[in-house]
């Protein structure tokens, strides 16, 4: 399953929003996983991977710190990297609670 950024988790008044408005998610017929703009972190990606998320498509503009095009200690090296997007394989799907 594909993992993509979905948008803001709150509107301008602070009310929660459904953060599934990304163009990638629409192309996927709303099947896959999204995270809010403000939620991007290694633990969030690891949790999504445990629930079945496999391929993370990230815009290079959203990556920062250890989450760079080179990967990092917490993430495997990317499968593809271009000036605009990076594709990471988050690993083989695992059943919830399996280690």
* Domain chopping of the chain, boundaries: 2-89
Position with higher pLDDT, 99 vs 24: 24
Structure tokens at 66: 């250890």
Please write the tens of the pLDDT for every residue from 56-76: 888 877 776 546 555 555 666
The Cα-based distances of 30 to 4, 11, 39, 55, 69 in angstroms read 11, 21, 19, 15, 26
Q: Is the pLDDT of residue 13 over 90?
A: yes
CA neighbor of 70 nearest in space, from 81, 57, 61: 81
End-to-end Cα spacing for the chain: 20
The pLDDT assigned to 95 comes to: 45
CB-count exposure of residue 69 (10 Å: 0-12, 13-18, 19+) = middle
Write down the pLDDT at residue 11: 87
Contacts of residue 16, Cβ cutoff 8 Å, sequence gap at least 6: 9, 10
More confident residue, 70 or 78: 78
pLDDT of residue 69: 56
Averaged pLDDT, 21-30: 67
Distance CA 3, CA 19 (A): 13
């Amino acid at each position: 399953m594909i993992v993509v950024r979905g948008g803001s988790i709150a509107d301008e008044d602070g009310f929660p929003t459904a953060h599934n408005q990304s163009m990638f998610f629409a192309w996927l017929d709303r099947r896959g996983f999204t995270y809010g703009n403000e939620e991007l972190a290694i633990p969030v990606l690891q949790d999504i991977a445990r629930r079945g998320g496999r391929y993370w498509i990230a815009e290079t503009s959203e990556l920062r710190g250890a989450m760079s095009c080179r990967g990092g200690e917490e993430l495997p090296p990317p499968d593809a990297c271009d000036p605009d997007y990076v594709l990471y394989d988050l690993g083989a799907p695992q059943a919830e609670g399996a280690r």
